[in-house]
Amino acid sequence: MKNNEYPKIGIRPIIDGRRKGIRESLEETTMNMAKNVAGFYAENLRYPDGSRVECIIADTCIGGVKEAANCAEKFKRNNVGLTLSVTPCWCYGSETIDMDPLIPKAIWGFNGTERPGAVYLAAALAAHNQKGLPTFGIYGHDVQDLGDMSIPEDVQEKLLRFAKAGLAVAIMRGKSYLAIGSVSMGIAGSIVNPEFLQEYLGLRSEFVDSSEILRRIQLEIYDKDEYKKALEWTIKNCAVNEGDDYNPEHLKRSRQQKDKDWEFVVKMTLIMRDLMIGNDKLHKTGYSEEAMGHNAIAGGFQGQRQWTDFLPNGDFSEAILNSSFDWNGIREPFAFATEDDHLNGISMLFGKLLTNTAQIFADVRTYWSPASIQRVTGWKPEGVLADGAIHLINSGSCTLDGTGRQSEDGKPVMKPFWKINQEEVDKMLGATKWYPASLEYFRGGGYSSKFLTEPGMPVTMCRINLVKGIGPVLQIAEGVTATFPQEVFDKIDKRTDKTWPSTFFIPRLTGKGHFKDVYSVMNYWGANHGAISYGHIGGDLISLASMLSIPVCMHNVDEDKIFRPSSWAAFGSDAEGSDYRACEAYGPLYK
C-alpha cells in the first residue's frame, strides 16, 4: 500500500460559533491546537510501510452544522479513516460532532479555566452517546493556561492509544483475509468465518484451494528471475545452517530429495506472497489474473494434513513471510497463520498494525511448573522462572524476528523493519537452524526452523476466540520472555521436538483470577495458539477491541491504561461486565 492510499487522521478544530467577539478571539488558538496535534501525530506515528502518518485538518474551525458538513466532505475526499475533535472552549454539542458511524472518533477537551473546553467535551460526548456513536473522551489531568500549546503526558498517551487503534481499524477496512486450503486437523480457528471477518473487521474472505500452489509450481507461474535470486539467498543463508536429520534411518530422505525440497519451499514462498498481494511481473508472462493477487492484509495456509502428507510443509514459507526480511532485503513482515488459524492470524494482524513489528505465531503448548522443571532437569527454577513458565513452540513457522537478535540500548528487541540493519538480519539468520522436517509429522518433507528466543523482552500474547452466544472475545496477557541454562533447556527441549523454535513466556501476575499464577494463564487460555507481539500493548489492544465491539475476557493490564469510549461508563461500574454489555448493545461495526 502506498502512503497516499493509507487512511489519514482527520483533525476537527471545534469553536464557539458566536461571532462579533467570542469566535474571533478563539480562531487562532483553536486552529493552532489542531495543527499542534497533527504535528505530534506526524512525529510519533508511522504507517506499516514506515512513512509518517498524515493528518488532514478542516479548512476552517467548526462552529456549527454547515462547517461540520464541509469538514466531513473534505475528509471523504482525502481518505480520512478516524477523527479527533479538539477544542479549548465551549462549542455547540450536537451541531458540531462527527456523525459518520464507521469512523472511530475521539474528542480532546482542553482542561483550562479561561474557556470551558471540558464542558464541550462532556456535552459532545453526551450527544454521541445519545445517538449511538461511541467516542473516546480525552481530558487532561491538570489545568493549563489557554495559550499553552504543550500536550501533557497523560493526554499524549491517550492521543496515541486512540490513533493507533483507530488506524488499525481503518487500515483493515476493505482488505481481505486469504485462506489457502481448508480446515487443518479439525482446529476450530481454521474454520474461517466470513461473517466475523466482514461484520467485525470489514474484511473480505478469500479462499484458494491448496492445489493452486501446485498448479503455479508445475506451470512455473512465478517470477523466474526472483526465484533464482531467492534460491541463491536461501542456500547461502538457510541451507548452510541445515540441522542434523533426526528421522529414523528407514524414513530419511536422500540428499538429492532434500535439495529438491529447498527448491520447492522457496517456490511456495514466492507463490503464497503473490497470492496475497499480487505480482506485476506476472503480467509479462501472460498471467494477468494471477498478477493481481487477492488484496490480502493477512492470510494462512492449511498445510496439515492433506498437503503435508505428500508435499513439503509450509514452515519455511510461513517463517520467511512473517519475518522482516527475505532475499529482497529488509521489508515489511506479513501476518500469515500456520494451519490457517484465521483467529490467530487476525490476532497477529492486530499486533502488527499496533506496533509495525513482526509477530510470533506459536502453540501455547506446555505449562512448566517449578516442581516439574526440577523433577525433569534437576535444576530449581529461580528469578523470573521461579513461578514456572509457558512454553510457546510450534513446528518452525515462527518469525525469525522472534530470535530476539535485534538490539536497542544493548537489550534484545523486535523493531519495525525500517529500524533493522543488515547486521541484525545476519544475527537472526545465524541464530536459526533449519532441520529436515520430522517425517512422522510431515510425510512430505520440508524444513522446520529452530531457535531459542532471547530472554528479557517485554511481550504481549493475545488471541481472539469465537464463542457461541457471544461472538468474538479477546484474551490478553502481558509478560516477558525467559530462558533456562543451556543444559536445562536441552532436557526440556528434547521432550517436545528439538527441531522447532522455542519461546518461554512469563506472564505478569496479579495474584487473582486468571492471573493468580502462571498455571492459571495457561489453564484459562481459550485455544491452542497465541499471537505474541513485542512490547506491552495490552492497553492498545483493549482500545482497538472496543472500537470493534469485541469484549475482552481476560487481561492483566493496569486499570489506568484501559481506555474505552466514554459510553462504556454507562453500562456499569465493573470494567469487564460493562465491556460485555456495551459490545452487545452496539454490535459489530459493519453489520
Grid coordinates in use for 5? Answer: 492510499
Q: In whole angstroms, how far apart are CA 472 and each of 343, 413, 419, 463, 478?
A: 9, 30, 34, 10, 20
List Cβ<8 Å contacts ≥24 apart for 148-157.
148/112, 149/32, 149/33, 149/36, 151/36, 151/37, 151/40, 155/108, 156/40
Q: Give the residues across from 476 on adjacent strands.
A: 462
Please report the DSSP string for 176-192 in residue order.
Answer: EEEEESS-STT-GGGS-
Any idea which residues carry the catalytic annotation? 339, 363
- Is residue 67 part of an annotated ligand binding site? no
Please state, in angstroms and rounded to a whole number, the distance separating the CA atoms of residues 36 and 77: 23
- Is residue 529 part of an annotated ligand binding site? yes
Q: Are 534 and 528 in contact (CB under 8 A)?
A: no
Q: Are 313 and 444 in contact (CB under 8 A)?
A: yes
How far is C-alpha 101 from the geometric centre of its chain's CA atoms?
24
Please state, in angstroms and rounded to a whole number, the distance separating the CA atoms of residues 155 and 136: 12
Geometric angle at alpha carbon 575, from 574 and 576, rounded to 5°: 100
Across the chain, which distance is largest between two alpha carbons, in Å?
92
Angle between helices 22-44 and 153-172 (to 10 degrees): 70
- Phi, psi of 389, rounded to the nearest 5 degrees: -150, 155
Geometric angle at alpha carbon 273, from 213 and 443, rounded to 5°: 45
Grid coordinates in use for 516? Answer: 493468580
Q: Are 177 and 206 in contact (CB under 8 A)?
A: yes
Q: In whole angstroms, how far apart are CA 567 and each of 90, 124, 128, 129?
A: 21, 12, 9, 6
Q: Are 303 and 181 in contact (CB under 8 A)?
A: yes
Query: Is 40 strand, coil or helix?
Result: helix
| Residues across the chain | 591
- Is residue 294 part of an annotated ligand binding site? no
Geometric angle at alpha carbon 529, from 578 and 360, rounded to 5°: 100
Of 288, 487, 518, 268, nearest to 377 by C-alpha is: 487
Please state, in angstroms and rounded to a whole number, the distance separating the CA atoms of residues 171 and 543: 16
Please state, in angstroms and rounded to a whole number, the distance separating the CA atoms of residues 554 and 475: 5
Of 389, 498, 401, 504, nearest to 450 by C-alpha is: 498
Please state, in angstroms and rounded to a whole number, the distance separating the CA atoms of residues 355 and 417: 11
Terminal Cα distance for the chain, rounded? 26
Residue 376 CB coordination number (10 Å): 13
Please state, in angstroms and rounded to a whole number, the distance separating the CA atoms of residues 14 and 109: 10
Q: Which residues are annotated as a binding site?
A: 339, 363, 529
Q: Which residues are annotated as a binding site for Mn(2+)?
A: 339, 363, 529
